[in-house]
Amino acid sequence: MTIRSIPAGPVGLSVMIVALSAARPERAAAQAAIEGRVALPRTRSTPVANQRYEIVAIGGILAPSPPLAVVYLEGNFPRPTSPPLRQILQTNFAFVPALLPVQVGTRVEFPNLDNTFHNVFSYSPPKRFDLGRYRPDERPIPMQVFDKPGLVTLRCDIHEHMRGLVLVLDTPHFVTSDADGRFRLTNLPAGHFTVKAWLNSKTTLEIPVDLKGTSTLQVNLP
């Protein structure tokens, strides 16, 4: 089995695959699962109850702080017939959640819950937009449709410290890890795919996997 890390760097990658069921493979079934743990970048320990995820930029690399990963299954999947709807709140002068993974075609609303003006904009190639300045009572709630895969950086031109990320994925199968890097993907189809773990704007880990029937793969990265 070939194991790769993209781009090349000091982060390694390994995988352990354990078949928990010997069920016969069924192409149409969506019952397989992948679970495991991503070794997150080291940071100062913070009590879980006090953790607040924000986006930091170090050396031009954007990453969530405290660290976490977005784990997803890459493959040829149909896009949704009706656009999903998600929200990123602007509250206490921060984007919540600071990192939002979505499938291509998702509509994202940006409610303003602060008692002041905000202005969400992005210059990222996958989605360039500027919602203009608006108050908490703005209706309809300003929104954008994210129709191209890639990483979109969110900013507010009034509050320069505010930063958020929308990770637009061409797959319906994704999950955000917990603070310890643990994750579980469920209701997966049988077949040959690639599991990827997004860590920051420069580092994504990947490995090929074969899903069969109702089996569960145990994948640890690295």
184 confidence band (pLDDT: 50, 70, 90): very high
pLDDT beyond 60 at 148: yes
In the prediction, which pLDDT does 42 show? 81
83 confidence band (pLDDT: 50, 70, 90): confident
Break the chain into its structural domains and give their ranges.
4-11+33-41+52-76+83-221
Residue that is written with structure tokens 């905000």 in the block: 118
In the prediction, which pLDDT does 50 show? 57
Q: Which helix (H) or strand (E) holds 120?
A: strand 120-124
Superfamily for the 4-11+33-41+52-76+83-221 domain = Cupredoxins -  blue copper proteins (2.60.40.420)
Q: In what order do the strands lie in the sheet with 4-6?
A: 4-6, 203-211, 191-200, 70-74, 174-176
pLDDT beyond 50 at 96: yes
Antiparallel, parallel or unpaired: β 106-109 and 85-87: parallel
pTM of the model: 0.83
Higher pLDDT, 48 or 38: 38
Give the mean pLDDT of 57-64: 94
pLDDT tens column, 69-81: 999 999 999 888 8
23 confidence band (pLDDT: 50, 70, 90): very low
Q: Are 20 and 215 in contact (CB under 8 A)?
A: yes
53 confidence band (pLDDT: 50, 70, 90): confident
Give the mean pLDDT of 2-23: 39
Q: Which two tokens stand for residue 48?
A: 């879980």
pLDDT tens column, 106-144: 999 999 999 999 999 999 999 999 999 999 999 999 999
pLDDT beyond 60 at 19: no
